[in-house]
């Protein structure tokens, strides 16, 4: 399995290879308007792509990975080395700077040294996760290799900081859109949110235009079924994709819960 360059909530890294098997044989431009950590983009490596997210610092970081991988790797090395030499105050100093200036280099450093690698923002859009004291963060040499590898995979991708409907506004018949929006039953766990009814209207418009889409959405965790009752006329096929075990455990028997996420296709 490939290594992530950006750790983001709701990652599809464990599902990427299986989701890839559902791709249509031919399609034009690939669109991904809820990009996050970009696992599906990496797995596909399309010839022509437009990818977006409403989190501007995230998109700025993607553009740095694409256009300036060497400089980005060096910036991480400088920050990481300071943390090892000067201790935990460096992390919080850089976090304060990021919350003022929103530099992508600082976001990368924070994402690789914070608790459990969880990029988390408060209601004011400020990064608020703490330093992971028991781990030093990924070594600069290792991260440099990952950054350069991803940079090669995304050279044919245009990155934009926009709402999902704006990112895909130029999509046309023959194109493909992969959708991984904030899930219906996980409000508050992801950056931003979407209006469910507006999103259904959006899917309807894609069908009218003859644009193929793949939608990852709520599924099953253990014995609990969180599948959303999407209108049947919006899709042609519904599959369950295994995504490993949940980090949430049953209180009584302490067993991991197997998770399956939904994948909807409109062809």
Residue count of the chain: 267
The span from the CA of 212 to the CA of 234, in Å, is 11
The span from the CA of 167 to the CA of 246, in Å, is 31
The span from the CA of 35 to the CA of 132, in Å, is 25
Residues 6+ apart with CB under 8 A from 240: 219, 220, 260, 261, 262, 263
DSSP 79-140: HHHHHHHH-THHHHHHHHHHHHH--HHHHHHHHHHBGGG---B-TTS-B-PPB-TT---S-H
Whether the Cβ atoms of residue 65 and residue 47 lie closer than 8 Å to each other: no
Any known ligand binding at 8?
yes
Indicate the SS3 state at residue 214: strand
Indicate the SS3 state at residue 267: coil
Any known ligand binding at 12?
yes
Cα dihedral 58, 63, 66, 70 sign: negative
Q: Which one-letter DSSP state was computed for residue 74?
A: H
Tokens of 186: 């996980």
Indicate the SS3 state at residue 241: strand
Binding residues: 8, 12, 53, 180
Binding residues for S-adenosyl-L-methionine: 8, 12, 53, 180
């Amino acid at each position: 399995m490939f290594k992530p360059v950006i750790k983001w909530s709701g990652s599809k890294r464990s599902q990427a290879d299986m989701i890839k098997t559902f791709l249509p044989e031919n399609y034009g431009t690939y669109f991904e308007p809820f990009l996050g950590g970009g696992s599906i983009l990496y797995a596909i490596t399309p010839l022509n792509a437009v990818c977006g997210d409403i989190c501007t610092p995230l998109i700025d970081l993607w553009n740095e990975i694409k256009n300036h991988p060497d400089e980005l790797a060096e910036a991480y090395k400088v920050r990481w080395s300071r943390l090892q030499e000067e201790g935990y105050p460096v992390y919080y100093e850089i976090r304060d700077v990021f919350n003022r200036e929103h530099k992508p280099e600082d976001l990368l450093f924070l994402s690789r040294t914070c608790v459990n690698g969880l990029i988390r923002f408060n209601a004011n859009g400020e990064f608020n996760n703490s330093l992971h004291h028991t781990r030093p963060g990924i070594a600069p040499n290792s991260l440099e290799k990952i950054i350069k590898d991803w940079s090669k995979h995304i050279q044919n991708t245009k990155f934009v900081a926009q709402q999902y409907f704006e990112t895909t506004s130029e999509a046309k018949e023959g194109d493909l859109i992969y959708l991984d929006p904030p899930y219906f039953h996980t409000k508050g766990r992801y950056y931003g949110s979407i209006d469910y009814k507006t999103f259904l209207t959006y899917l309807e418009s894609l069908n009218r235009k003859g644009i193929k889409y793949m939608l990852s959405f709520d599924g099953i965790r253990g014995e609990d079924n969180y599948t959303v009752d999407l209108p049947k006329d919006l899709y042609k096929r519904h599959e369950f994709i295994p995504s490993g075990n949940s980090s949430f455990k049953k209180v009584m028997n302490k067993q991991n819960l197997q998770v399956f996420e939904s994948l909807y296709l409109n062809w």
